[in-house]
Amino acid sequence: MEPSTPTGSRPLAYGRGLRALSIATVAAMALALALVFFYAPLEADQGFLQKIFYVHVPLAIVALCGFVVGALLAIQHLRTRDPRWDMRSYVVIHMSLIFAVGTLITGSIWAKGSWGQWWVWSEPTLVSFLIVFLLYATYQPLHFAIEDPERQSRYAAVFAITAGAFVPMNFIAVRLSTAYLHPRVLGSTSNLPASMALTFVVSLLAIALLFATLCKYELTAKHARSQLRALRRRLAGDAASTRGVGRSAVPTLQHATTSGAGPVVSAHDWTPPTRTALR
């Protein structure tokens, strides 16, 4: 059954369009891989190793953009006090962190093959991205540290906005730096041949679609899990219960309402977890 929402608002349907999005993602990934291995030429200096560029750079771009999107969603949460925006902001930032880990891993592999070292501390792009990653690594523990759900979501939103504002500032600072070991991919000074540029754009699109698909899947899974908990409470005759068992630090749907057709979940029942719920 489709979850209910307050009068005048649209129903939640996080799973709608997930299959089409997944198919588009698989097709884009297949096309990107075909272009990377069979169309894009080998780079003169690095040879086959350079092909990791088509994974590393799109991962970095999508991760940084995800952090900014998470900040925008957090702004919307503070404006409306709607917990759904807090959930969306959490999921986007969580997925961006995963992509950031992939960026650091592929970057280290590329650095080892190109420079003979796993890490170069004098390279501003590497160090600045690591700083952003470490900054956002403290975001999820914030959801454990505060007991009150409203304060928890509010403080997390403020953190997401502050950190999100740091991302473009950090990017601009690196672009203005005079020491560059990374090639310029975006901008008027890009030195990519047409075939490499096309492969890069397709790879970036594929990674962006993968990011969107994973975010939508996570939102759908959390929504379904919340409805299942509401159904279990109703069947157990414990409709007044507001706490789940074995929950994570992820914001979840807590309260349920019922109607003649069965259990439904209110759109305003997104509530961040507390440490008490983990015990």
Please check the confidence at residue 219 and state whether its pLDDT lies above 90. no
Residue 264 host element (H or E): strand 262-264
Residue type present at position 139: Y
Please check the confidence at residue 108 and state whether its pLDDT lies above 50. yes
pLDDT tens digits, 21-47:
999 999 999 999 999 998 888 877 788
Please check the confidence at residue 214 and state whether its pLDDT lies above 90. yes
| Banded pLDDT at 264 (limits 50, 70, 90) | very low
**Distance separating alpha carbons of residues 272 and 279, to the nearest angstrom:** 15
**Listed range (165-179, 189-203, 229-243) with the worst mean pLDDT:** 229-243
The pair of three-digit structure tokens given for residue 191, joined into one six-digit string: 């030195």
CB 97 within 8 A of CB 133: yes
Per-position b or e across 240-268, b if 16+ CB within 10 A of its CB:
ebeebeeeebbbbbbbbeeeeeebbbbbe
* pLDDT, averaged across the chain: 77
Instruction: Give every CB contact of residue 199 below 8 A, 6+ residues apart in sequence.
Output: 32, 35, 36, 39, 40, 54
pLDDT tens digits, 133-188:
999 998 888 877 877 778 888 888 899 898 888 888 887 877 776 555 455 555 55
Indicate whether this model's pTM tops 0.85: no
Please check the confidence at residue 66 and state whether its pLDDT lies above 90. yes
